[in-house]
Structure 1
Amino acid sequence: MENQFVVSLLAVPALWKIGLSLALILVVQKFSRSLLAGVIAGSALLAFWAGHSPQSALDIMLESTFTFDGMMLLAVIVLVILLSSQMANSGMMAELVAAVQKRLNRRASVALLPALIGLLPMPGGALFSAPLIDDCDRDKALPPMEKTRANYWFRHIWEFWWPLYPGVLLTIELSGLKIWQLMVVMFPLTLISVLSGYLFILRRIPKDHAIHVSEEGHHAAGQILPLLSPVLIVIATYLGFMLLLPGTEVFSKYLPMVCGLSLAVLFVQVRRPLDRKTWKTMILSRRIISMVAIVAVIRIYGAYIESPLPDGSSLIVLLRSELAAQGIPAGLLIILLPFIAALTTGLTIGFVGASFPVVLSLLGPEPTALQIMQILPFAYGVGFMGMMLSPVHVCLLVTNKHFNTGLTSSIRALIAPVAFTALGIILVGGLWMMV
Structure 2
Amino acid sequence: MNANLGFLMILISIIIIIVLPRFKIHIAIAIMVGALFLLSVLGADWYKVLIDLANWHNFWRIIVIVFLSLLIVALMEKIGYLNMMVDSVKSLAASLGASMVSISAFIGLLPMPGGAYVSARLVDSLANEMKLSPLEATSLNYWFRHLWEYWWPLYTGVIVASAIFEVTIPDFVIHMFFLTILAILGGYIFIYYPIMRKKNIKKDRIKNGKSREFGKLLYSSWPILAVMLLTLLGVPWIQNGRIVLHRVDLFYSLLSVDIVLLLMLVHNKRYKDAVYGLRFALKPTFLGVTFAALFMKIAVLQTNSMQYTYQFFNMYGIPPFVVIILLPYLAGLMTGVTVAYVAATFPLLLPYIGSPPSFTAIALAYASGYAGHLSSPVHLCLVLSAQHFKADVYKVIKRVSPAIIFVVAIVLAIYLI
Letter aligned with residue 382 of structure 1: A
Which of 49, 54, 62 in structure 1 is aligned with 2:50? Answer: 62
**2:89–2:99: 8 Å Cα contact kept in structure 1?**
yes
The corresponding residue for 1:226 is 219
2:44 aligned with 1:22: no
The corresponding residue for 1:235 is 228
Matches of 2:22 and 2:340, distance apart in 1:
14
The corresponding residue for 1:296 is 294
Matches of 1:316 and 1:49, distance apart in 2:
15
2:327 aligned with 1:332: no
Which of 150, 153, 160 in structure 1 is aligned with 2:140? Answer: 153
2:63 aligned with 1:80: no
Pairwise CA distance, 1:285: 1.3
- Bigger mean CA deviation after superposition, 287-296 or 415-424: 415-424
**Shift in alpha-carbon separation, 1:30–1:255, aligned structure 2, 3 A:** farther
**Shift in alpha-carbon separation, 1:360–1:419, aligned structure 2, 3 A:** closer
**1:160–1:186: 8 Å Cα contact kept in structure 2?**
no
**1:341–1:354: 8 Å Cα contact kept in structure 2?**
yes
The corresponding residue for 1:36 is 28
Which of 125, 129, 153 in structure 1 is aligned with 2:123? Answer: 129
Pairwise CA distance, 1:96: 0.4
Pairwise CA distance, 1:396: 6.7
**Shift in alpha-carbon separation, 1:386–1:116, aligned structure 2, 3 A:** same
Specify the SS of the correspondent of 1:132. Answer: helix
The TM-score normalised by the length of structure 1 is 0.64
**Shift in alpha-carbon separation, 1:304–1:29, aligned structure 2, 3 A:** farther
Letter aligned with residue 184 of structure 2: V
**2:16–2:34: 8 Å Cα contact kept in structure 1?**
yes
The corresponding residue for 2:38 is 46
**Shift in alpha-carbon separation, 1:116–1:150, aligned structure 2, 3 A:** farther
2:184 aligned with 1:194: yes
What is the aligned residue count? 376
Pairwise CA distance, 1:224: 0.8
Deviations 1:47-102 (A, max 9, x none): 332334xxx31x11122233343243333333222223322333211110111223
**Shift in alpha-carbon separation, 1:149–1:316, aligned structure 2, 3 A:** closer
The corresponding residue for 1:106 is 95
Letter aligned with residue 99 of structure 2: S
Matches of 1:399 and 1:77, distance apart in 2:
18
Please, what is the CA RMSD of the aligned residues? Answer: 5.2
2:85 aligned with 1:96: yes
**1:100–1:109: 8 Å Cα contact kept in structure 2?**
yes
Q: Percent identity?
A: 18
The corresponding residue for 2:313 is 323
Pairwise CA distance, 1:10: 8.0
Pairwise CA distance, 1:297: 0.6
Pairwise CA distance, 1:327: 1.8
Letter aligned with residue 14 of structure 2: L
The corresponding residue for 2:244 is none
**1:158–1:190: 8 Å Cα contact kept in structure 2?**
no
Pairwise CA distance, 1:304: 1.6
Specify the SS of the correspondent of 1:223. Answer: helix
Letter aligned with residue 349 of structure 2: L
Matches of 2:17 and 2:344, distance apart in 1:
14
